[in-house]
Amino acid sequence: MKIAIIYKSKSGYTKNYATWLSEILGAEVYQGSKVKAENLKDYDTLIFGGGLYASGINGIKTIKKFISLYPDKNIVVFATGASPGRNDEIDSVIKRNFTEQEQKAIRFFYLRGGFDYSKCTPIDKVMMRMLELILKHKSNPTPDERGMLNAYTTPMDFTKRENVKELVDYVQSF
């Protein structure tokens, strides 16, 4: 089975998972912005990865293009984010990014990434400062929100090789 991993990564968390997946599955890796339809036509399975930015998956346009272009391939999408990945969060990410028809064509996985303010782009820094202000003014922040606030000064990295196990088992079941 020929497998390709296509990912976009701003600060490296999604890249970590793409690298581990390629090592374990013997898959070829492409950077999302550089991949063309021609590059992917011979693969049986396409695994797309991207970070979450305000609940949107980085690279979603490319992912949607290939879902419609290759209806007969196995398509897996993974997103990385700073949040712990509770079921309701994952459900809302799926609904926000994929139509009902697209949801039937893919299998989605959430792999926890991290957060490093120093690696954010200037625009992302502005967005994250706004979020910080909102969180700082909350009278009763949740433990997750307090964890996020701490991450502005102490970067967090939850990426771990073993986190890809469920995705790997799924792909190897084909």
Ligand X SMILES: Cc1cc2nc3c(=O)[nH]c(=O)nc-3n(C[C@H](O)[C@H](O)[C@H](O)COP(=O)(O)O)c2cc1C
Smallest separation, CB 168 to ligand X (Å)? 19
- Per-residue tokens: 141: 């922040």
Given a contact cutoff of 8 angstroms between Cβ atoms, the answer to whether 106 and 71 are in contact is no
| Angle of CA points 89, 152, 53, to nearest 5° | 40
Binders of ligand X in range 35-54 (CB under 6 A): 51-54
Binders of ligand X in range 89-118 (CB under 6 A): 113-115
Given a contact cutoff of 8 angstroms between Cβ atoms, the answer to whether 109 and 119 are in contact is no
d(C-alpha 48, C-alpha 9), whole Å = 11
Given a contact cutoff of 8 angstroms between Cβ atoms, the answer to whether 132 and 152 are in contact is yes
x/- map, 50-89, ligand X, by CB under 6 A? -xxxxx--x---------------------xxxx------
Considering beta carbons, is residue 19 or 103 the nearer one to ligand X? 19
Tell whether residue 133 is a contact of ligand X (CB under 6 A).
Answer: no
Considering beta carbons, is residue 13 or 98 the nearer one to ligand X? 13
Considering beta carbons, is residue 12 or 147 the nearer one to ligand X? 12
Considering beta carbons, is residue 51 or 74 the nearer one to ligand X? 51
Tell whether residue 10 is a contact of ligand X (CB under 6 A).
Answer: yes
If DSSP codes are grouped into helix, strand and coil, which group holds residue 141?
coil
d(C-alpha 118, C-alpha 151), whole Å = 11
Residues that bind ligand X (CB under 6 A): 9-15, 51-55, 58, 80-83, 113-115, 120, 124, 127-128
